[in-house]
Amino acid sequence: MTTTLDELRRLTAAAAKAAPIAAAASDAERAGWLRAVADRLDEHADELIEIADSETRLGSTRLKGEVARTTGQLRLFADVITEGSYLEAIIDHADPSATPPKPDLRRVLHPLGPVAVFSASNFPFAFSVAGGDTASALAVGCPVIVKAHSGHLALSLRMAELVGAALEEAGAPAGMFGLVTGREAGNALVGDPDITAVGFTGSVAGGRALFDIAASRLDPIPFYGELGSINPVVLTAGAVERRSDELAKGLVGSFTLGVGQFCTKPGVVFVPSGAGFEDAVAQSVDGAAGGPLLTDRIAEAFPGGIRRLLDDEAVRLVSGAAEQDAVNDGATPVVLATTAAAVRERPETLLEEVFGPTTLLISYDSEDELLASLAVVPGSLTATVHAEDDEEVEGIVDALRRRAGRVLFAGWPTGVAVNWAQHHGGPYPATTSLYTSVGATAARRFQRPVAYQSAPERLLPPALREDNPLGIPRRVDGILVLP
């Protein structure tokens, strides 16, 4: 089943027609739409999990948790828009006595319009048809057209049926949600004149191709892509000396979680030279479970990625099998090791992401060498440091902050809380923009600011009217005013 270009145009035209209606709907109305979708997905969770497991082989336990995360995201955004600060309402009253005189200026965010969302392979619910991109766009009044992922097509089609029916029954306008399939339709969706922004989670190559389409349009549009991330981890000498076995077990549990198919998997780990951490990891990974990868294409690529790293003379195998039939037998964990000097010389080779259950241990001799090596690490979603309280790590933390959007000081990066404070982004190629794809501020991606100067009260959006009829937080004359 592939969407034709004529079918695509009908969907985008309907979305464009729905956009002003959705923008004019109240926050309470749109919150009701989101909660209706969440309730419908929860009602059909068992059915959806069965379909998803047959296509992705992720297992019912993982998928059950992902459905809960997905419906939780929808309800979070319902809360976000009813709280009101997402509008960033600002009022500066006129000041005729100022030099020069200042007019009355009021600023608020408005929805962009129809949004294209590309489903991810590794999260068939949470980053897919009704995932965070869709939830945050619908929340602020943007119609959504999803490009289904070929790796879970049957699930996508069923999800689209449920989402569309729930929105219709909750009173959302026709055209508020649609689904397309096929690469040609996906490319055309980004270039469609009615689409105003794109949310994407996937590969660097695929995301960059779509990013270039978005940027080359006569009217370029924002492309919010999450493309690739190796998520560096730094272990200090004190941490390894005092907690080597604990850290080794934690690392193995993290890079093998979900058979290494999490976007926050710790792909490279900087370890002090001569501390014996490689041996501790080898012991911990012995017997660690592998499993089937999401698609045959991913499974075929996994051993190839391992081989490319081992082709470098500075890389050695610590544990696992470099040659494996991941398509038929599933992928098994692989640990590799190299040096910080080699990484600085060939970062484009040694710091390439390998999707699957593998990690690269990088030995460093001094903090100066560590900092120089971190400087060549590509942008990532996360960066982690494990250190002891008596160690000075301010320089390391600053270096990691420059390379990632979330810095962890304990635990491991796999696992992303969905809340107000979360940031799931980072320097390119982790993301193509500054804003996050997870958490409350994800909604900011699909809005733009408009300032109203000396506008009559009756023509102002409700969020900017003097009596604050929405009862939302606002900044008035420079002071944050709570309702």
Active site members: 226, 263
**Vertex 22: Cα angle to 69 and 105 (nearest 5):** 105
At residue 477, the pLDDT reads 97
Q: How far apart are CA 84 and CA 121, in angstroms?
A: 33
Query: Quick one: 326 and 344 in the same domain?
Result: yes
Is 422 domain-assigned?
Answer: no
Residues 255 and 221 both lie in one domain = no
Name the domain boundary from 363, 393, 408.
408
233: which DSSP letter?
E
Across the beta sheet with 334-339, the strand order is 316-319, 334-339, 358-364, 268-272, 233-235, 380-386, 404-408
Supply the pLDDT for residue 57.
Answer: 85
Q: Supply the CATH number for residue 312's domain.
A: 3.40.309.10
Residues 98 and 239 in one domain: no
- One domain, residues 221 and 242: no
pLDDT along the chain (483 residues), means of 10: 94 98 97 98 97 92 95 97 97 94 97 97 93 97 97 96 98 98 96 97 92 96 94 97 96 93 94 95 89 88 93 95 89 96 96 94 97 96 96 96 94 89 91 88 96 97 97 97 93
Whole-number pLDDT of residue 419: 87
Say how many domains are in the chain. Answer: 2
259 plus 347 within the same structural domain: yes
Q: Is 267 within a domain? A: yes
DSSP H helical segments within 270-350, as ranges? 277-285, 296-310, 326-329, 340-345, 347-350
The verdict on 214 and 328 lying in the same domain is no
Within-domain flag for 414? no
Same domain? 435 vs 347? no
Assess whether 261 and 118 both reside in one domain. Answer: no
Residues 222 and 256 placed together within one structural domain of the fold: no
Residue 421 falls inside a structural domain: no
What 344-347 contacts at long range (C-beta under 8 Å, 24+ apart), as own/partner pairs, is 344/372, 344/373, 344/376, 346/312, 346/314, 347/376, 347/377, 347/378
Q: Which of 207, 230, 224 is nearest to 348 (CA)?
A: 230
Considering Cα of 439, then 443, then 449, then 450, what sign does the dihedral take? negative
Task: Indicate whether 74 belongs to any domain.
Answer: yes
Q: Does 332 fall in a domain?
A: yes
Residue 400 within a domain: yes
> Are both 96 and 177 inside the same structural domain?
yes
Q: What is the pLDDT of residue 104?
A: 97
> What pLDDT does 168 receive?
97
For residue 277, the enclosing domain spans: 233-408
Domain end among 408, 423, 440: 408
CA distance linking residue 475 with residue 29, whole number of Å: 25
Burial class (CB in 10 A: 0-12, 13-18, 19+), 336: buried
Is residue 326 included in any domain, yes or no? yes
- CATH number, domain at 167? 3.40.605.10
Task: Check whether residue 87 and residue 178 sit in a common domain.
Answer: yes
196 and 65 housed in the same domain? yes
* pLDDT value at residue 288: 86
3-state class of 210 per DSSP?
Answer: helix
Domain boundary among 377, 408, 439: 408
